Amino acid sequence: MKDLFSNRRKFIKNTAATATGMAFLSSMPKSSVAAVSAEPKIRFSVININHNHIFSMVNAVIRGGGQLVSVYAKEADLLANFTKAFPQAKVAGSADQILEDNSIQLILSSGIPDERAPLGIAVMEHGKDYLVDKPGIITLEQLEEVRRVQKETKRIYSIMYSERFENKATVKAGELVKAGAIGNVIQTVILAPHRMSPKTRPEWFFDKKRFGGIICDIGSHQFDQFLYFTGSTSAEVVASHVGNVHYPQYPGFEDFGDITLRGNNGMGYIRVDWFTPDGLASWGDGRLTILGTEGFIEVRKNVDIAGPAGGNHLYIVNQKETKFIDCNSEPLPFGELLVNDVLNRTETAMPQAHCFLATELALKAQKNAHTISLKK
């Protein structure tokens, strides 16, 4: 809206009123918001913990009002690390023991990527909701089956797109966009570099059949953000590329990918890679640029190499001013919204159609990507 910045107080008021899409939460002090989640609302458990994202996933649901009950994993070392962090979790003897526990409402998982969709189908068929690490589905065939079972069971199949849900500056960017702070969004440009660290990676990390490919894997975050910030409900992949340009010792691996998107409400460009140098004080210099008709927003997700120390930094430029916002004190609403969705059978954390469309676009971009070969 053009008059949004007629004065600073009106801008702050409008921004706060849209925080997390829930006015009653944004109007409360942060200590009161935390108190809302003090008493457990649901019981949840964990099956398979092959990626460390499970720790932030569990913490999000606990913050949101979930009570962690039990955990199952085949790997003794991974299980030991998990139970050290969450000693309240009872170790189950099998996945079936958790699936058949009728007191459990929600299952979390960060298993090996090719095993995530089959587990999610079993979870839904046992009458439970599911929150899975990205990529939550690695083939179009898996997606078709997941969609079928989700439609039949009416259960929640949610994918933790953590580069939006668990990044405070990105959450803040969503509030500003919804407030009309930069007008109508035209395009998103998202850069998502990651650090390779091959010595710390398990064998499946280098096998495309298991992780799905670079666009399917780390790129899935970016399709979610493109749809969310442009407000697109349909989109197509204009072009996509993948390549393994630097790691011939891992022939089943991909270290670079990029995608151009056209949605019904905006355009998008995405770049993903495994080239974060060791000299950077973060696993990746993740950046999000949102171009609007009345201004633009830039987010430095994890590190700000030309600005103040730390991440969760947001810059907004409009017709009146250029402003820096440190977002480290902003709330993360996803966990509480998901817990409420489990209780109320709603879709406030993320619409199911959006979840599946983001994955579908990533899978199509991966499947149809042109393979590049750079010879120097």
Last residue of a domain, one of 109, 133, 161: 161
154 with 183, same domain? Answer: no
Q: Which of 1-5, 10-14, 96-100 has the highest mean pLDDT?
A: 96-100
Distance from CA of residue 62 to its chain's centroid? 17
d(CA 169, CA 301): 7
In this prediction, residue 83 carries a pLDDT of 97
73 with 210, same domain? Answer: no
Range of the domain at 242: 164-334+363-371
Domains in the chain, number:
2
- Residue 174: what residue type? G
Q: How confident is the model at residue 27 (pLDDT cuts 50, 70, 90)?
A: very low
pLDDT in tens, 42-51: 999 999 999 9
Close Cβ partners of 172 (under 8 Å, ≥ 6 residues apart): 314, 325, 327, 330
267 with 283, same domain? Answer: yes
User: What value does the mean pLDDT take over residues 131-156?
Assistant: 98
In this prediction, residue 153 carries a pLDDT of 98
21 pLDDT higher than 70: no
141 with 207, same domain? Answer: no
In this prediction, residue 375 carries a pLDDT of 76
26 pLDDT higher than 80: no
In this prediction, residue 15 carries a pLDDT of 37
**Does residue 3 lie within any of the structural domains?**
no
**pTM of the full predicted structure?**
0.88
Lowest mean pLDDT among 12-21, 281-290, 329-338: 12-21
123 with 234, same domain? Answer: no
In this prediction, residue 9 carries a pLDDT of 36
**Does residue 343 lie within any of the structural domains?**
no
Last residue of a domain, one of 94, 128, 161: 161
205 with 322, same domain? Answer: yes
**Does residue 355 lie within any of the structural domains?**
no
Q: Give the residue among 141, 123, 145 at the shortest CA–CA distance from 132.
A: 123
**Does residue 20 lie within any of the structural domains?**
no
User: What value does the mean pLDDT take over residues 160-189?
Assistant: 98
CATH of the domain at 180: 3.30.360.10
Q: What is the DSSP string of 106-145?
A: EEEEE--HHHHHHHHHHHHHTT-EEEEESPS--SHHHHHH
**Does residue 22 lie within any of the structural domains?**
no
216 with 329, same domain? Answer: yes
**Does residue 73 lie within any of the structural domains?**
yes
248 with 155, same domain? Answer: no
61 with 111, same domain? Answer: yes
In the structure encoding, which two tokens stand for residue 108, read together? 């979390």
**Does residue 339 lie within any of the structural domains?**
no
In this prediction, residue 39 carries a pLDDT of 79
196 with 261, same domain? Answer: yes
**Does residue 144 lie within any of the structural domains?**
yes
111 with 195, same domain? Answer: no
CATH of the domain at 122: 3.40.50.720
- Kindly tell me the burial class for residue 271, based on how many C-beta atoms sit within 10 Å of its own C-beta (0-12, 13-18, 19 or more): middle
358 pLDDT higher than 60: yes
156 with 207, same domain? Answer: no
Q: What is the DSSP string of 11-69?
A: HHHHHHHTGGG-HHHHTS-HHHHHHHTSS--EEEEEEEE-STHHHHHHHHHHHTTEEEE
User: What value does the mean pLDDT take over residues 230-236?
Assistant: 98
pLDDT in tens, 147-163: 999 999 999 999 999 99
Q: How confident is the model at residue 38 (pLDDT cuts 50, 70, 90)?
A: low
Q: Are 129 and 106 in contact (CB under 8 A)?
A: yes
Q: How confident is the model at residue 352 (pLDDT cuts 50, 70, 90)?
A: very high
Helices (H), the chain: 8-17, 23-26, 30-36, 53-63, 76-85, 95-99, 113-125, 140-153, 162-165, 168-178, 208-211, 219-230, 334-344, 352-367
Last residue of a domain, one of 161, 181, 200: 161
In this prediction, residue 7 carries a pLDDT of 33
In this prediction, residue 68 carries a pLDDT of 98
d(CA 252, CA 233): 33
